[in-house]
Structure 1
């Protein structure tokens, strides 16, 4: 008897979009991770998307958008205040975030806005 193992494939990435509001910062708020456990930053809004990195409680992220069901937030990881992520001023044009910081999606329920 033949059996086949089917590998679970991750859902395709969903880019974090910035600059949708002309004249506003590319990402409009700063938030803190409030979960009590490490939280996976994912490539899209949902558990089926691949994990990028793990964030810990207290980490700061720039809020850039939300999923259509408002359950997930598109974020850019605030790099210890050292690296300019280029999201605290207006973007030249709306589009996918291209760095230099790490971006992805987090469950909105574990984020608390602290500025913006």
Structure 2
């Protein structure tokens, strides 16, 4: 133990410090890391890889839940419409505009929680679920038939399913 730095020798000579050091060392190890929202090129569409586009991810709640289990409705547009953007920021390209009363599936959120990754439900009376009420085995980019994108959280109200 003479080859070890003095602070390591002092730490190892005290059982509580040794235990703490071991716990801290192991805390940095991640043998099988959970989903870190990394891109899986096997299920990412070409548009998801375009600069300025962030794909809406489905299945983030796990395989026991619907692909997008939260519903919302646009409520704060006033007389205007709300742009659905290709990325979660104001400079993101506009995919489509939606009016008050438009129903949405909320699939994910931006890191800062200011943007919601949504899928727009077609029509006001439609029962089409856009393929989102089924469960998915693992998180992936949405590639279904409905329009998807990002809306500001402040402009929608979460609703019950």
- TM-score (normalizing by structure 1): 0.85
Q: How many angstroms apart in 2 are the aligned matches of 1:15 and 1:112?
A: 22
Which of residues 83, 102, 124 in structure 2 aligns to 1:59? Answer: 102
Q: Secondary structure at the match of 2:154?
A: helix
* Per-residue Cα deviation, 1:61-98 (whole angstroms, up to 9, x for no partner): 00101100000000000112243301112124310000
Q: Which has the higher contact order (CA 8 A, sep 6+)?
A: 1
Which of residues 37, 53, 57 in structure 2 aligns to 1:17? Answer: 57
Pairwise mapping of residues 21-60 of structure 1 onto structure 2 (< 5 A)? 21-35=62-76, 36=78, 37-60=80-103
Which residue does 1:3 correspond to in 2? none
Is it true that 1:83 corresponds to 2:128 in the alignment? yes
Q: Which runs of 5+ in 2 are unaligned?
A: 1-50
Number of positions where the alignment pairs a residue of Structure 1 with one of Structure 2: 106
* Per-residue Cα deviation, 1:42-69 (whole angstroms, up to 9, x for no partner): 0010111100000001100001011000
- TM-score (normalizing by structure 2): 0.62
What RMSD, in angstroms, separates the aligned Cα atoms of the two structures?
1.3
Q: Which runs of 5+ in 1 are unaligned?
A: 1-10
Q: Secondary structure at the match of 1:27?
A: coil
Structure 1 or 2: more helix by fraction: 2
Q: How many angstroms apart in 1 are the aligned matches of 2:105 and 2:155?
A: 14
Q: How many angstroms apart in 2 are the aligned matches of 1:75 and 1:84?
A: 13
Mark the structure with the bigger radius of gyration.
Answer: 2
